[in-house]
């Protein structure tokens, strides 16, 4: 435990950032629409995610370059631009929807109109991201991770059928319909996300752990990804045991919290709301920073949270611009749940090509030297590509093939 507390850093933050309001809403929607029938996907995704993120970290620590820079160097600027554009679109859309989700929860708790919260939220999050020292931001983010404990308590308060929960965790009850496969792609898309590859590789470079502390890196990442998927597990349980059982749908981000009250009590609603606020406080800065890494790396600009703003103006300008575009999207009247959910479906669709880039890079000796990915790491990585591709093809078949 002492070692774990010493080494936690980018891995735990990256894992927790997966459970931003987009992730929370996606998991809540999956639970409300398909019950606990997709818990088995989290069991499969966890080891895949650990290996993929560990490879991303090794890429940054060995090459001292970011994922975007390496795609540009190895596969050409056009490939890097296309890859970057797809992730940036998904990121900015998610930032806008995340802001609406946080504002909707504040409206639920205070009964003040949600639009009044959007700009103050961005000002606070923008200050944390752009002007605070990197190490202080990292420590703050690690404390915010504790907010996710709220979902464990909310799940217990929902009084699930634990026998059924455990059975569907280990035995896949696959349903051949569009709702099921849209949920599967959204769930995988919010669990294994392309922007996290960029953030992990850059975070590891800024952490400067080097190649001599591979064990610490794996411990950091494994603890972060396991915690992240356990949180997702309990979010699905809480909404499956209440909303799915009573045939309640989710129309807004606050609905997921508010709808728990009749079945699990008002305390569960407060806990779920606190979790969403913590998720946004952690997730939005990570989305904005990863967008800065992606654009700066692709275009060859100076970058890094360790640099002051005037030493990396392009990098910090992209972060600020992504937050401002998020505000515009948040004020545009978009349906927050649909925007959140389908941004994660989009993320699921664009992740396999990025995984292919990652696996090709870590398998090249001229890039990785003696730290090239092992055979079992490559097998697990390609398995992740296969799992996500199969889910996307199954979705396409159910939509277009009847």
- Can you tell me the mean pLDDT for 97-111? 83
Please report which confidence band the pLDDT of residue 176 belongs to, taking 50, 70 and 90 as the band edges.
confident
Q: Would you state the pLDDT for residue 255?
A: 64
Res. 271: pLDDT tops 80: no
Q: Would you state the pLDDT for residue 96?
A: 87
Res. 238: pLDDT tops 80: yes
Q: Other C-beta atoms within 10 Å of 100: how many?
A: 30
- Can you tell me the mean pLDDT for 341-345? 70
Please report which confidence band the pLDDT of residue 295 belongs to, taking 50, 70 and 90 as the band edges.
very high
Q: What is the pLDDT of residues 208-237, one digit of tens each?
A: 665 656 666 777 788 778 888 888 898 899
Please report which confidence band the pLDDT of residue 45 belongs to, taking 50, 70 and 90 as the band edges.
confident
Name which residue leads in pLDDT, 194 or 359.
359
- Can you tell me the mean pLDDT for 353-370? 91
Out of 244-258, 266-280, 385-399, pick the least confident. 244-258
Q: In this structure, are residues 330 and 96 in contact, taking their beta carbons and an 8 Å threshold?
A: yes
- Can you tell me the mean pLDDT for 71-81? 92
Out of 63-77, 97-111, 202-216, 304-318, pick the least confident. 202-216
Out of 173-177, 305-309, 351-355, 394-398, pick the least confident. 394-398
The residues, any chain, with a CB within 8 Å of residue 42's CB and separated by 6 or more, are 169, 187, 191, 229, 232, 233, 236
Burial class (CB in 10 A: 0-12, 13-18, 19+), 172: middle
Integer Cα distance of 378 and 366 in angstroms? 17
Q: Would you state the pLDDT for residue 401?
A: 63
Please report which confidence band the pLDDT of residue 72 belongs to, taking 50, 70 and 90 as the band edges.
very high
360-379: string of b/e by CB count within 10 Å (b at 16+)? bbbbeeebbeebbbeeebbe
Please report which confidence band the pLDDT of residue 1 belongs to, taking 50, 70 and 90 as the band edges.
low
Percent of the residues in the chain that have a pLDDT greater than 90, as a whole number:
15
Out of 127-141, 286-300, 366-380, pick the least confident. 127-141
Q: Would you state the pLDDT for residue 300?
A: 87
Domains of the chain with CATH codes: 2-400 (1.20.1740.10)
- Can you tell me the mean pLDDT for 30-47? 87
Res. 55: pLDDT tops 80: yes
Integer Cα distance of 234 and 232 in angstroms? 5
* Nearest in space to 236 (alpha carbons), one of 16, 15, 43: 43
CA distances, 107 to each of 44, 255, 375 (Å):
37, 11, 51
Please report which confidence band the pLDDT of residue 379 belongs to, taking 50, 70 and 90 as the band edges.
very high
- Can you tell me the mean pLDDT for 144-151? 72
- Tell me which DSSP letter residue 241 carries: I
Q: Would you state the pLDDT for residue 334?
A: 67
Q: In this structure, are residues 205 and 61 in contact, taking their beta carbons and an 8 Å threshold?
A: yes
Please report which confidence band the pLDDT of residue 270 belongs to, taking 50, 70 and 90 as the band edges.
confident
Mean pLDDT, rounded, of the chain: 80
pTM of the model: 0.82
Highest mean pLDDT among 37-41, 99-103, 240-244 belongs to 37-41
Q: Would you state the pLDDT for residue 137?
A: 67
Q: Would you state the pLDDT for residue 362?
A: 92
């Amino acid at each position: 435990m002492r070692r774990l507390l010493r080494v936690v850093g980018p891995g735990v933050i990256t894992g927790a950032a997966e459970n931003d309001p987009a992730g929370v809403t996606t998991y809540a929607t999956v639970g409300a629409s398909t019950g606990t029938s997709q818990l088995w996907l989290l069991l499969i995704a966890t080891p895949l995610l650990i290996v993929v993120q560990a490879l991303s970290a090794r890429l940054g620590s060995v090459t001292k370059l970011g994922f975007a820079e390496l795609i540009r160097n190895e596969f050409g600027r056009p490939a890097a631009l296309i890859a970057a554009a797809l992730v940036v679109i998904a990121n900015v859309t998610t930032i806008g929807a995340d802001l609406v989700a946080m504002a909707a929860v504040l409206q639920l708790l205070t009964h003040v109109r949600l639009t009044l919260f959007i700009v103050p939220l961005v000002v606070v999050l923008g200050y944390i991201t752009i002007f605070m020292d990197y190490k202080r931001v990292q420590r703050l983010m690690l404390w915010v991770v504790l907010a996710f404990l709220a979902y464990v308590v909310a799940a217990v308060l929902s009084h699930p059928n634990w026998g059924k929960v455990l059975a569907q965790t280990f035995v896949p009850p696959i349903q051949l319909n569009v709702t099921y496969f849209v949920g599967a792609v959204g769930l995988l898309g919010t669990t294994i996300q392309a922007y996290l590859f960029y953030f992990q590789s850059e975070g590891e470079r800024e952490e400067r752990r080097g190649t001599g502390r591979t064990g610490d890196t794996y411990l950091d990442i494994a603890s972060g990804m396991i915690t992240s998927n356990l949180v997702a597990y309990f979010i699905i349980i809480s909404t499956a045991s209440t909303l799915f059982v009573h045939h309640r749908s989710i129309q807004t981000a606050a609905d997921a919290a508010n709808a728990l009250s009749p079945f699990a009590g008002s305390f569960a609603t407060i806990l779920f709301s606190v979790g969403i606020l913590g998720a946004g406080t952690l997730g939005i800065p990570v989305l904005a920073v990863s967008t800065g890494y992606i654009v700066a790396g692709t275009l060859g600009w100076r970058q890094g949270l360790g640099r002051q703003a005037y030493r990396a103006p392009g990098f910090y300008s992209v972060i600020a611009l992504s937050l401002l575009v998020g505000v515009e999207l948040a004020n545009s009247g978009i349906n927050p749940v649909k925007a959140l959910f389908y941004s994660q479906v989009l993320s699921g669709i664009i992740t396999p090509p990025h995984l292919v880039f990652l696996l090709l890079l870590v398998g090249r000796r001229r890039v990785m030297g003696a730290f090239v990915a092992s055979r079992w790491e490559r097998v697990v990585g390609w398995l992740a590509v296969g799992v996500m591709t199969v889910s996307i093809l199954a979705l396409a078949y159910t939509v277009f093939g009847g």
